[in-house]
């Protein structure tokens, strides 16, 4: 009875000659009508990498798919159609008794039948093609089908009853009324039936050209991400996948999940490769393209689904024009700084400034040629909250000139920490003090030495600086060596290098020899624990002697992020710089312990550097309180099949810690009432036999640990006990693409004792799909409780109602956000809720409205939480937005306890303009305004720049309103 029927009568070529389309371009970058080409127009794409199929072939496949849909649902629709046909028979029997009323009933009923037939039989070629291109899988939206059927029948029921009231006394009324009740019951029964139906996939009908015709290659890259638990950078690896012959299309992949897809085949612009993992995930630009495939009109930026306030500007035929606000190149969650100024024909002109936390922190002038000129204050490449480094100096026609100085903000003070001279060509010369790439609050590492013609020469020293309680800087020489005196600036001779992320908790140095910039011979790795003086030889190995810089033979390497609380090493062999054979992952908890194997696997002998077979790996954030392990299988260097995620509780650090139980209590692992010791027996030589120790961990299960071995004199020991609980996992595809597929339980980044969060849902070809649940537990002996979640569409984009968690969600900062997404952007009212402890109710604490227009900008009254909001730092900001910009009075309010009211501690005014500019007298909290450290600063702003005298005041916890002067800081007018 039902047959496939295309809604569109004629599909024309996208050109203006109105010819019938013969081919379809399979690209999500084009609008539906722009994907179709006639025979002649298709010739211009015959040699390109654009994927095309014949319209007839594609329609044949879609018709087959539609037949499957009909086959699955025809019985449901037929039963309702037959009931309607019986109703028509009843109406016909009484038609002679009525005229116009019954004609109306017949018309309404016939129309309902036709609508039901159209609903199950008809499909839009454009819409089905859109789904096909985006995900290669068609999923029947069963609920939508039945909901449409329900709407048709309820509308029919309403219209019928309006007429029916006029002739309820007819004899045929009772039989017809029964049919109406049957149809109403069928509506609810059909919903339940359809929900149980299997999903139809079109994969079985369509072999996509990209699978067979397009060859892709993969490039592995390193980036960083931030470990919020321990406030440190950790390295992570991701892949970029692109066609062999060009980079007009890029897929960014992290651990089997497609983070981003870029495509420029159909736009006249080059793809810019992104290297910042957060920008890859969260930064999106939205706007329009003109007929010439160039950007036009206003473009705006979104970050993790939220429109960045007033970020963006106007394009005219692909060129930036007028006022623009842009994120800095290193923009991420802890580096939300912007540059603001004017473009003319895509060239920066006039004064540009840098804005950070609504304050003017730098900038300078561009000349008519778009070159920097005059005095500038620039941000360092690695600028972020904990590394507020700026460079101040002079430009001349786009080149740095004369003296430049390096500054850092430390404890609210701006200190000069380095600098040197540039010649007239913009080349460094003479004595310089450079900062390290990882320079930040606890990593004050500087390099001191001479430049000649822009290259380092002679001896260079590496210093590590710390600040005492009086804020005085103390320098310690930690490394260095020599550069050649030639023009190459290469390291030569004996050197002491430092590790990435070097600081007091990661005091790691590398000792060895360079020849013409390449490491050769034996290199040793030394580690020194915090505040100790003795270095420990902890690793190392050999580089070949031919100057290639390749590692060879046996090596012991330190894991990225090696620190006092995360002592992990890798041990195995290299051949020509690539890992081969068996590699083991080892860990220890304390300097006195030996390293013990916790994981590892095999590198292919035939293809060195490629993982194969079963592996046990650790997470990027692995440390003492975040011991996350992955059990996976590799094939040709990519994960395949099942992967298990385990959270390991290992007590092997207790031998040293148990010498002082109070240390455990201090670390939050034990409370006094949880420790019970039974029967200690002291021997004459000082040995202690501990017969039974019972520890009730708040974060672990109860364990009985018995000691039966002889112990070393004067020490308290116990045997090692390990508990492992599976938290999650899922599967990678079997084709070797490394994509996550099917059901998964993912863990949050930085999963630890203080942040046990999992995500429960489904992947399709590396993208999240359908509904995902967010679950949390406070400690390991609790079950996970659902606290949030929502749905992803077929593109992996959030839509509909969602409950998100905050970026820094953890036990001490349990914050959720409720609202709606549309096309991945927040819209309408969003509510912020907070609970102090698990198993209590979430209470509303803030929120506001995202405008339905203007790209979803914040608008109207808002209450938002401060950065770092937690149980011990409950600070909120109250004020008004106008088209995404803060305007008028904004207040800072604080409370020490959840049952206390918020109290005003600071305020100030923004201009009513369009740039969130601070002006006039302001009182604002400094830092996170913790329970124990409550400091405010009061002074004057002029166009978001501090001027004159600012007074800092401090108060003790509990002394509401009683602030005492701390110090004064004078800023230039």
Give rounded-to-5 percent helix, strand, coil for the chain: 15, 50, 35
Query: Per-residue pLDDT for 159 more than 80?
Result: no
Least confident of 449-453, 561-565, 684-688: 684-688
- 691 pLDDT band, cuts 50/70/90, is very low
Give the tokens for residue 348: 């920066």
- 754 pLDDT band, cuts 50/70/90, is confident
Query: Per-residue pLDDT for 16 more than 60?
Result: yes
- 340 pLDDT band, cuts 50/70/90, is very high
Least confident of 110-119, 721-730, 791-800, 935-944: 721-730
Q: Which sign, positive or negative, has the C-alpha torsion 30, 33, 36, 38?
A: negative
pLDDT score, position 792: 92
Query: Per-residue pLDDT for 670 more than 60?
Result: no
pLDDT score, position 849: 94
Choose from 304-308, 380-384, 853-857, 927-931 the range with maximum mean pLDDT. Answer: 380-384
pLDDT score, position 188: 59
Share the mean pLDDT of the chain. 81
Give the tokens for residue 881: 């937005």
Query: Per-residue pLDDT for 125 more than 90?
Result: no
Least confident of 78-82, 586-590, 933-937: 78-82
Which residue in 187, 152, 172, 183 sits closest to 164, CA to CA? 172
Average pLDDT (571-598) is 93
Choose from 138-147, 227-236, 575-584 the range with maximum mean pLDDT. Answer: 575-584
Least confident of 210-219, 502-511, 566-575, 717-726: 717-726
pLDDT score, position 662: 44
pLDDT score, position 471: 61
- 213 pLDDT band, cuts 50/70/90, is very low
pLDDT score, position 620: 87
Give pairs for 766-772: CB < 8 Å, separation 24+.
766/253, 766/256, 766/257, 766/258, 766/737, 766/739, 766/740, 766/741, 767/135, 767/257, 767/258, 767/792, 767/795, 767/796, 768/257, 768/792, 768/796, 769/135, 769/793, 769/794, 769/796
Per cent of the chain over pLDDT 90 is 39
pLDDT score, position 805: 95
pLDDT score, position 854: 61
Least confident of 658-662, 892-896, 917-921: 658-662
Query: Per-residue pLDDT for 420 more than 50?
Result: yes
Q: What angle do CA 237, 774, 760 make, to 5 degrees?
A: 70
Phi, psi angle pair for 305, to nearest 5°: 85, -5
Least confident of 302-306, 398-402, 919-923: 302-306
Give the tokens for residue 365: 């002038």
pLDDT score, position 344: 94
What does the alpha-carbon distance between residue 499 and residue 261 come to, in Å, rounded to a whole number?
34
Query: Per-residue pLDDT for 470 more than 60?
Result: no
**CA atoms lying within 13 Å on the CB side of residue 915:** 20
Average pLDDT (617-622) is 90
Task: Give the model confidence (pLDDT) of 84-101 as tens digits.
Answer: 887 887 777 766 666 777
Which residue in 278, 366, 387 sits closest to 327, CA to CA? 278
DSSP three-state, residue 555: strand
Average pLDDT (915-939) is 85
Query: Per-residue pLDDT for 963 more than 70?
Result: yes
Least confident of 133-142, 147-156, 539-548, 877-886: 133-142
Q: What angle do CA 412, 414, 420 make, to 5 degrees?
A: 155
pLDDT score, position 44: 77
pLDDT score, position 663: 42
Query: Per-residue pLDDT for 719 more than 60?
Result: no
Packing angle, helices 125-135 and 55-93, rounded to 10: 130
CA torsion, ordered 393, 396, 401, 402, to nearest 10 deg: -80
Cβ atoms < 10 Å from Cβ of 102: 18
pLDDT score, position 669: 42
Distance of CA 968 to the CA centre of its chain: 40
Query: Per-residue pLDDT for 500 more than 90?
Result: no
Average pLDDT (136-147) is 55
Choose from 34-38, 58-62, 243-247, 627-631 the range with maximum mean pLDDT. Answer: 627-631
pTM over 0.85: no
Least confident of 108-112, 321-325, 569-573, 826-830: 108-112
Residue 610's contacts (CB-CB under 8 Å, 6 or more residues apart) are: 603, 604, 636, 637
pLDDT score, position 958: 65
Cα-based distances in Å from 672 to 649, 700, 718: 20, 16, 19
What does the alpha-carbon distance between residue 160 and residue 716 come to, in Å, rounded to a whole number?
87
Give the tokens for residue 466: 């710390």
């Amino acid at each position: 009875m039902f047959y496939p029927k295309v809604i569109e009568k004629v599909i024309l070529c996208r050109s203006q000659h109105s010819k019938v389309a013969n081919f379809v371009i399979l690209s999500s970058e084009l609008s539906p009508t722009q994907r179709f080409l006639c025979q002649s127009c298709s010739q211009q794409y015959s040699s390109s990498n654009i994927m095309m199929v014949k319209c007839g072939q594609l329609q044949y496949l879609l018709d087959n798919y539609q037949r499957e849909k009909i086959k699955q649902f025809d019985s449901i629709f037929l039963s309702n159609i037959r009931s309607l046909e019986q109703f028509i028979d009843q109406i016909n029997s009484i038609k002679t008794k009525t005229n116009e009323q019954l004609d109306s009933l017949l018309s309404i009923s016939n129309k309902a039948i036709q609508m039901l037939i159209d609903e199950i039989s008809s499909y839009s070629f454009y819409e089905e093609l859109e789904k096909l291109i985006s995900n290669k899988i068609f999923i029947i939206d069963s609920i939508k089908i039945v909901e449409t059927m329900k709407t048709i029948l309820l509308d029919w029921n309403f219209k019928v009853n309006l007429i029916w009231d006029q002739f309820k006394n007819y004899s045929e009324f009772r039989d017809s009324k029964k049919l109406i009740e049957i149809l109403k019951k069928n509506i609810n029964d059909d919903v339940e039936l359809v929900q149980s139906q299997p999903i139809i996939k079109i994969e079985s009908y369509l072999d996509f050209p990209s699978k067979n015709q397009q060859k892709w290659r993969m490039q592995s890259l390193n980036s960083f991400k931030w470990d919020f638990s321990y406030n440190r950078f950790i390295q992570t690896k991701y892949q970029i996948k692109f066609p062999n012959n060009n980079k007009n299309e890029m897929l960014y992949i992290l651990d089997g999940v497609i983070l981003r897809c870029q495509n420029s085949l159909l736009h006249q612009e080059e793809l810019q490769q992104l290297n910042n993992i957060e920008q890859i995930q969260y930064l999106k630009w939205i706007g329009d393209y003109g007929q010439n495939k160039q950007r036009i009109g206003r473009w705006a930026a979104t970050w993790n689904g939220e429109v960045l306030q007033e970020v963006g500007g106007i394009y005219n035929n692909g060129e930036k024009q007028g006022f623009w606000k842009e994120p800095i190149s290193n923009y991420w969650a802890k580096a939300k700084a912007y540059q603001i100024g004017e473009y003319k024909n895509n060239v920066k002109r006039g004064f540009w400034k840098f804005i950070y936390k609504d304050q003017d922190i730098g900038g300078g002038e561009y000349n008519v040629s778009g070159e920097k000129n005059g005095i500038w204050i620039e941000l360092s490449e690695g600028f972020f909250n904990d590394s507020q480094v700026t460079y101040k100096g002079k430009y001349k026609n786009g080149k740095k000139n004369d003296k430049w100085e390096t500054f850092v903000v430390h404890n609210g003070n701006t200190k000069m920490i380095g600098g040197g001279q540039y010649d007239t060509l913009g080349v460094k010369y003479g004595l310089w003090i450079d900062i390290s790439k990882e320079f930040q609050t606890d990593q004050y590492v500087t390099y001191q030495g001479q430049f000649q013609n822009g290259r380092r020469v002679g001896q260079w020293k590496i210093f590590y600086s710390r600040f005492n309680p009086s804020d005085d800087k103390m320098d310690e020489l930690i490394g260095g060596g020599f550069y050649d005196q030639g023009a190459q600036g290469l390291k030569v001779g004996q050197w002491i290098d430092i590790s990435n992320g070097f600081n007091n908790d990661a005091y790691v140095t590398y000792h060895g020899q360079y020849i013409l910039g390449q490491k050769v011979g034996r290199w040793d790795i030394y580690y020194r624990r915090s505040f100790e003086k003795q270095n420990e030889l902890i690793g190392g190995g050999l580089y070949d002697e031919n100057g290639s810089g390749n590692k060879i033979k046996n090596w012991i390497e330190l894991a990225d992020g090696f620190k006092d609380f995360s002592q992990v090493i890798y041990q195995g062999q290299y051949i020509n710089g690539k890992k081969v054979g068996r590699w083991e992952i080892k860990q220890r908890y304390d300097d006195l312990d030996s390293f013990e194997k916790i994981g590892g696997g095999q590198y292919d002998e035939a293809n060195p550097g490629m993982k194969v077979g079963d592996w046990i790996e650790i997470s990027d954030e692995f440390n003492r309180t975040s011991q996350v392990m992955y059990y996976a299988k590799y094939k040709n260097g990519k994960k395949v099949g099942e992967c298990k995620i385990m959270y390991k509780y290992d007590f092997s650090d207790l031998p040293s810690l148990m010498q002082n139980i109070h240390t455990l209590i201090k670390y939050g692992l034990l409370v006094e009432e949880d420790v019970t010791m039974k029967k200690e027996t002291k021997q004459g030589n000082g040995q202690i036999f501990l017969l039974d120790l019972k520890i009730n961990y708040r974060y672990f299960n109860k364990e009985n640990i018995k000691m039966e071995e002889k112990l070393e004199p004067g020490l308290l020991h116990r045997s090692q006990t390990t508990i492992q609980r599976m938290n999650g996992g899922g599967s990678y595809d079997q084709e070797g693409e490394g994509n996550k597929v099917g059901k998964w339980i993912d863990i949050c980044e930085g999963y630890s004792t203080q942040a046990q969060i999992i995500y429960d849902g489904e992947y399709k070809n590396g993208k999240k799909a359908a509904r995902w649940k967010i679950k949390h537990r406070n400690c390991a002996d609790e079950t996970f409780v659902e606290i949030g979640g929502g749905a992803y569409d077929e593109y992996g984009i959030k839509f509909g109602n969602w409950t998100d968690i905050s970026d820094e969600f953890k036990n001490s900062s349990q914050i959720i956000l409720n609202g709606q997404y549309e096309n991945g952007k927040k819209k309408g009212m969003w509510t912020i809720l907070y609970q102090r402890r698990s198993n209590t109710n979430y209470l509303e604490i803030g929120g506001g409205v995202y405008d339905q227009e203007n790209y979803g900008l914040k608008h109207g009254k808002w209450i938002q939480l401060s950065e770092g909001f937690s149980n011990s730092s409950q600070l909120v900001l109250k004020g008004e937005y106008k088209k995404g910009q803060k305007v008028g009075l904004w207040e800072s309010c604080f409370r020490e306890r959840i049952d206390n009211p918020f109290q005003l501690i600071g305020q100030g005014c923004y201009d009513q303009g369009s740039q969130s500019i601070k002006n006039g007298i302001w009182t604002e909290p400094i830092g996170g305004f913790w329970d124990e450290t409550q400091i405010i600063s009061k002074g004057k702003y002029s166009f978001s720049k501090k001027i004159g005298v600012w007074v800092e005041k401090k108060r003790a916890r509990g002394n509401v309103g009683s602030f005492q002067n701390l110090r004064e800081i004078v800023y230039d007018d």
